[in-house]
Structures are given as C-alpha cells and as structure tokens.
Amino acid sequence: MNTFFGEIKNNRIHQEELTRAIEYLDKSKVIQITENFINTNPDDVTKEVFKSAMKDGVGLITKKFEVGEYNIKDIIIIRNILDEVLGLISHSIQEPDHLNN
C-alpha cells in the first residue's frame, strides 16, 4: 500500500520528518509534506499518521516554549503555518474529486 509517506513500513521515518519540520518551524517543508499528503488521496491509516505527526510536532513546540527555548514569536509562526495547513486541507476537501486529478 502506497501513501504520501511511501510504503506503510516507512511511515515512522516520514512521520518523524513532518514532526521535525513542525518542531523547527520549517514552513516550506511542512507545506510540501502537506501538499504531498493531499495529492495522494490518503487512506485512513495515512490520515492518522499525518495527524499524529502534526500533534507530536506541536507538542515539541509546546515543550520548547515551556522551558524558554521558544518565545511568543515562535508560537505565532507555528500558528500561521498550521492555519495554512488547515486551509490547504479544507480546500482539498471542498473540491469535487474530478478537480483533484
């Protein structure tokens, strides 16, 4: 079974890539991974992996904020990145299937 992460057995590697991109506020990488995710018409397993990676990345940012490694500026940056990700996902859900091909 192929997914936007590659073979299912490789999900862990690619999940880590998305988590780290979020943690390091790498907007271009997060958007690239999100667009790849959307373009593959993901199955339920892949959707769960994507959500888990996103949650893990936000959790790491929260920890960095709590210990003073990140500040409010970084929280605003990740909020903007997550807003863009949600916009991409929402837009893809609203488009008819024939427009996604």
pTM listed for this prediction: 0.80
For the chain, the domains span 2-99
Q: How many Å apart are CA 47 and CA 66, to the nearest integer?
A: 29
Taking CB atoms within 8 Å and a gap of at least 24, the contacts of 89-92 are 89/34, 89/38, 92/38
| CATH of the structural domain 2-99, one choice from 1.10.357, 1.20.120, 1.10.3470, 1.10.1240 | 1.10.1240
What pLDDT, on the 0 to 100 scale, is given for residue 43?
A: 86
- Strand spans (E) along the chain: 2-3, 6-7
pLDDT at 1 over 60: no
β partners of residue 7: 2
- What pLDDT, in 10s, does the model give residues 39-63? 888 888 888 999 999 999 999 999 9
